[in-house]
Amino acid sequence: MKLRVIGTVMLLLSVIIASCQSEEQQEFQRYYNGGKIIYEQRCQNCHSAKGEGLSNLIPPLTDAGYLKSNKAALACIVKYGIKETIITVNGKSYEGAMPATDLAPVDIAKVLTYVTNSFGNKMGVITSEQVDKDLLKCK
Amino acid sequence: MKKLTGALFIVLLYTACKFNAADTPKLPIYGNRDTASNVVNGKTVIDSVYQTIPAFKFINQYGDSITNKSLNGYVYVADFFFTTCPSICPIMHRNMLKVYNDYKNVSDFKIISHTIDPKHDSVAVLKKYADKLGISGNSWWLLQGKKEETYQLGEKNYLVAVKEDSGTPGGYVHQGWFVLIDKQKRIRGYYDGTDEKQVDKLRADIKTLLAETNTNIAQ
């Protein structure tokens, strides 16, 4: 009987502690963790586990300035890729193609949340709704 | 007396084995092997004949003609890639860069990367790739030639001991192997170029192979 009471109290306590993590925090974790898996499967070969890219061939994902100023275009880049355009990251220019993907908007949101909050970046969550909006404006 | 002879025999056998062990190269020798009997000082000796990389002719990123003779006297690592490959090649060459940076100033070491897409990877494309990768000089050659010859060399000569993986397009030429070749053009190691740990082993094995002395006797 006593054990049962203690057990119930413990359960209640753990629920309370878990819910202390704000809803935004939980949403962020959901996106970020899912994004990590997608990154490893779809992006890491070229951009590397540390986001460092490859010499002057493949741009790094460590340039917070580039990611911030192009935040609204990131979803389009992931979805449609880049075709032989010169882009400037960290003061270096890169040319060449990045392949398009068939990721759903929610998965694009996840992988972008992972990238923009890894490798020294800290831009917060990029939601599926935001990606939907951004994709409408792709050039 | 008989016992003594037996003991002597055992001691002799032991030292013979020990002598052999000290003489054996530290890295294995891969590939098919054959035996040949040679006459040395009037006695017939049976020697192992190891598979070696045969003659080839390609063009490097500077437009120079490169043959098997260009690699005489070098320990080298060979791989197969193409510049527009979006899958494993970036990892391979991110890892190969480490090998390059370790040994680029070692005079008897080279890296050769064969393109398996010579139609796209012209000399100019290879030179641009080399520049962007950040490699210069002659310690890492990117080689271009006829596609069939590259595949033939890859599958029949470099990757002979690699078991074919099921269902991979392009066969095992396109599986990211780094192959270590010694100065006698024998295959001394296979490493998965996409696996950082195996590449670290390669970096250590190159040092071992470069330090291997009396390689002619070992052969």
Q: Where are the beta strands (DSSP E) in B56-215?
A: 57-59, 65-67, 75-81, 109-115, 140-143, 177-181, 187-192
Q: What is the ipTM of this complex?
A: 0.74
The segments of chain B whose pLDDT lies below 50 read 21, 24, 166, 214-219
CB contact under 8 A, A46 and B133: no
Q: What is the rounded average pLDDT of the residues A80-90?
A: 87
Superfamily assignment of A24-136 in CATH?
Cytochrome c-like domain (1.10.760.10)
- Cβ under 8 Å to A: B residues 86-115: 86-88, 90-91, 93-94, 97
CB contact under 8 A, B86 and A55: no
Domains of chain B (ranges; CATH) run: 53-218 (3.40.30.10)
Please write the tens of the pLDDT for every residue from B84-94.
Answer: 887 788 999 99
Q: How far apart are CA B72 and CA B79, in angstroms?
A: 18
- Cβ under 8 Å to B: A residues 80-99: 97, 99
Residues of B in contact with A46 (CB under 8 A): 86, 90
Give yes or no for residue A119 having a pLDDT over 90.
Answer: yes
Q: How far apart are CA B43 and CA B46, in angstroms?
A: 10
Sign of the dihedral defined by the CA atoms of residues B131, B134, B136, B142, in that order? negative
Nearest to B94 among A48, A56, A99 (CB): A48
Best of A46, A57, A83, A101 to disrupt the B interface (most B CBs within 10 Å) is: A57
Angle at B6 between CA B1 and CA B11, to 5 degrees: 125
Please write the tens of the pLDDT for every residue from B42-70.
Answer: 888 888 888 999 999 999 999 999 999 99
Q: What is the rounded average pLDDT of the residues A10-15?
A: 79
Q: How far apart are CA B181 and CA B209, in angstroms?
A: 9
CB contact under 8 A, A56 and B97: no
Name residue, tokens 């120079």: B64
Name residue, tokens 């990892």: B91
Q: Position B106: which residue type?
A: V
Give me the residue spans of the domains in chain A: 24-136
Name residue, tokens 């990590």: A36
H/E stretch holding B33: strand B33-40
User: Residue B178 in contact with residue B111, Cβ under 8 Å?
Assistant: no
CB contact under 8 A, B90 and A58: yes
Nearest to B133 among A46, A48, A55 (CB): A55
Q: Are strands B43-50 and B33-40 parallel, antiparallel or unpaired?
A: antiparallel
Tokens of B109: 């070491």
Higher model confidence: residue B166 or residue A4? A4
